[in-house]
Amino acid sequence: MAETSSSAFQFAEGEVLLVDKPLEWTSFDVVGKLRNSMKPLKIKVGHAGTLDPLATGLLIICTGKFTKRIDSFQAEDKEYTGIINLSGSTPSYDLETSIDHPSDYEHLTDEEIHAATASFLGDIAQYPPAHSAIKINGERVYEKARRGEEVELKARNIRIAQFTIEKIALPEVHFRITCSKGTYIRSIAHDFGKALGVGAHLSKLRRTKSGNFDVKDAWQLQNLIEKIKLQKTTNQE
């Protein structure tokens, strides 16, 4: 799993590959790239937990028989670091769309910002972003949102085990969060602004942990692909 590993991959028997997802790649892009690099092997490849294109960090890839473990990996708590920008809100709650409601944030104090995290801890109900991959009547809601259609989403129960502020450099607030499966960090950013009486959006996100897996042990995607190609070349000799 780690870049220091020298053992040969056994993709059909099953591998758990940790990848540091690059910025602007979809999780499906990473799966597709790795699947193509494994050809001509015809094996199952899947990921355990989607990351938005504008997020980076830990993506768990399972191959072969280990794809049966995906559900259990997805159920684990996740840790994220990132930046909430308090200069205004966006329709997507992140930088996919432009600020539509700018806000005045200069009056906020460090004490107020730290104190605002308390209401997010524990079991809470969260509304997912309209710009999300949730399906309504078979259609992704982000497709409806991009057409300007109204989207009604139901609140979901999630759990926030840790929410700490690591740095404040207004309008940016650097944070670390540990949360349950199904948590939308974009919604946390949006709601955090509302708790402070300002608009807010997520400007940076990185998944650092998932269960017992850590991004420090993850492959850079290109390095992993090169190792797979090298193994194929060695096996053919």
52 among known catalytic residues: yes
The CA–CA distances, whole Å, from 66 to 60, 61, 117, 153, 162 equal 11, 9, 37, 33, 30
* DSSP string covering the chain: --TT--SPP-TTT-EEEEEEEPTT--HHHHHHHHHHHHTT----EEESS---TTEEEEEEEEEGGGGGGHHHHHTS-EEEEEEEETTEE-TTSBTTS--SEE---TT--HHHHHHGGGGGSEEEEEPPPSSSS-EETTEEHHHHHHTT-------EEEEEEEEEEEEEETTEEEEEEEE-TT--HHHHHHHHHHHHTS--EEEEEEEEEETTEEGGGPEEHHHHHHHHHHHHHHHH-
Radius of gyration of the chain (CA): 20
Tell me which residue of 163, 148, 158 sits closest to 118, measured CA to CA.
Answer: 163
Q: Kind of pairing, strands 135-136 and 122-126?
A: unpaired
Catalytic residue among 20, 29, 52, 100: 52
Active site positions, annotated: 52
